[in-house]
A = this chain, B = another copy of it.
Amino acid sequence: MPKQKIPVQAIPRLSLYYRVLLGYKTSEFIRSSELARLTGFSAAVVRRDLAYFGQFGIPGRGYNIAQLKESILKILGIDTEWKIALVGVGNLGSALISYKGFTKHGFKIVCGFDVNPSKLNKKKADVPIKHMRDLAKYVREKAIKIAIIAVPALNCQEAVDKLVKAGVRGILNFAPFRPKAPAGIEVLNVDLSIELEKLAYFLNQAKQK
């Protein structure tokens, strides 16, 4: 198997194909051109992306919807539920705990961590909130591999260090700070100020024309 290298951009596209497929209950097959139309990518990209992972299609027909759904589910690794630890139960953290969208995609925030005494030992949307000092034990015991960080920039690196030490391998970071992490740990940064600055740049350019 000469397994070629898969461009990282293909992965979120797979997620979007999957989302489209979820909307199909009835019809048997879907063509790459249809998936392309509904996601905004080109049909060639769709076929290329799927071909990285196997031969899912039937020439002349398209892709069996149920089968493709199942395949993408497995490729993305969302065929089982992922337990998530949330670090930082402030405004954003609280909103994320209550967010229903995660559950639908097989992700479950099982515990929040904070240091603010007013938040501790309560439950938010049925999720327990514990002190940061209990993080290592809890995360290790429950074998949690994914975490979300929603703390201020200053506390971000510390949170990453603790999580990694406790066995977390993937981190979704909302703090406006780029933490360092050892090789083999995936950190995805969602940086709201930077997104807004992209918009500002774009509008600024448009204005100058």
Contacts and interface: CB of A to CB of B under 8 A. Distances in A.
Interface of A: 8, 11-12, 14-16, 19, 39-40, 75-78, 82, 84, 90-92, 94-96, 98-99, 101-102, 104-107, 145-146, 169-172, 176, 178, 184, 186, 188, 190-206
A202 B16 CA distance: 17
A169 B203 contact: yes
Copies in the complex: 2
A194 B15 contact: yes
B192 A192 contact: no
Which 3 pairs between the two chains have the least Cβ-Cβ distance? A77-B204, A170-B199, A91-B95
A15 B193 contact: yes
Given A95-B94, A99-B92, A172 B194 contact: no
Contacts of A90: 95
Contacts of A171: 199
Nearest to A171: B199
Contacts of A169: 202-203, 206
Given A11-B197, A94-B95, A107-B200, 4 more contacts: A76-B200, A101-B193, A146-B203, A170-B199
